[in-house]
A = this chain, B = another copy of it.
Amino acid sequence: MVKIANSKRTILNMAEDLLQVKGFNGFSYAHIASELGVKNAAIHYHFPTKEELGRAVIKRYRDRFQLWINNPRVKDLSPDKKMDWFFGIYTDGRVDEGKVCLVGSLEVEFNTIPEGLQAEVEALHNELLAWLQATLEEGRQAGVFHFNGEPASKAALILSSLQGGLQMARALGTQKFSAVVEQLKLDLLA
């Protein structure tokens, strides 16, 4: 018998990576098991169904995001530094490793994933948008951000372009994603 160290956490880490690299329909319990050197059933012991595994990945990510934005190291930043921090999430350790964001990955396969997982994705996407919108409002009031229209719409545009930009980087290279981020900043600060 092979014991996995920190089994649940290790499996969640692998599943999160696989979701971002291969998509929900692009990986199997066998992938995770063989990489960890255990059998399929060992994964099912911790996460009986693939839906539960997917939900656990997103739920953990949601909790992590709330911890981040409520942490003084982010909360107390100026609006433009907050935005830089947010862009950094996508630049560091996403585009460099050929990953796309969880939300984009699961929304492309939305019509083929279990309902419970769909709900989790919806919640995460709303939370990301809410924080972006609040940050945009804060920055516009402080006179750092300049844009026309509703903060909610600007937030939707920014998040969508980051999501699509990571996917574009897959086919066209990471410098394309950098161009998107630079353009976002130009459109927001100039």
Chain A positions near chain B (C-beta within 8 angstroms): 21-23, 25-26, 98, 100, 103-105, 107-112, 118, 121-122, 125-126, 129, 147-150, 152-154, 156-157, 159-165, 167-168, 170-172, 176, 179-180, 182-184, 186-187, 190
B contact residues around A104 at 8 Å (CB): 104, 108, 164, 167
Contact indicator A183/B157 (Cβ below 8 Å) = yes
Give, as a whole number of angstroms, the nearest-CB distance from A58 to chain B.
Answer: 11
Give, as a whole number of angstroms, the nearest-CB distance from A56 to chain B.
Answer: 18
Residue of B nearest to A26 (CB): B112
Known: A25-B25, A161-B160, A183-B149. A168 touches B107 (CB 8 A): yes
Contact indicator B125/A171 (Cβ below 8 Å) = yes
Contact indicator B149/A107 (Cβ below 8 Å) = no
Closest 5 CB pairs of A and B: A160-B164, A163-B164, A164-B164, A161-B161, A25-B25
Q: How far is the CA of A118 from the CA of B120 in the complex (A)?
A: 30
Q: How far is the CA of A187 from the CA of B100 in the complex (A)?
A: 26
Q: Is the interface of A mostly helix, strand, loop or mixed?
A: helix
List 17 additional A-B contacts (Cβ < 8 Å) besides A22-B109, A153-B179, A156-B165.
A25-B25, A100-B107, A103-B167, A104-B104, A107-B168, A107-B171, A108-B167, A148-B187, A149-B183, A149-B186, A153-B180, A153-B183, A157-B165, A157-B180, A160-B162, A163-B164, A187-B187
Residue of B nearest to A98 (CB): B111
B contact residues around A162 at 8 Å (CB): 160, 164
- Which one of B25, B147, B170 contacts A26 once the chains associate, using CB atoms below 8 Å? B25
- Which one of B153, B159, B176 contacts A182 once the chains associate, using CB atoms below 8 Å? B153
Q: How far is the CA of A172 from the CA of B107 in the complex (A)?
A: 10
Contact indicator B122/A172 (Cβ below 8 Å) = yes
Contact indicator A179/B161 (Cβ below 8 Å) = no
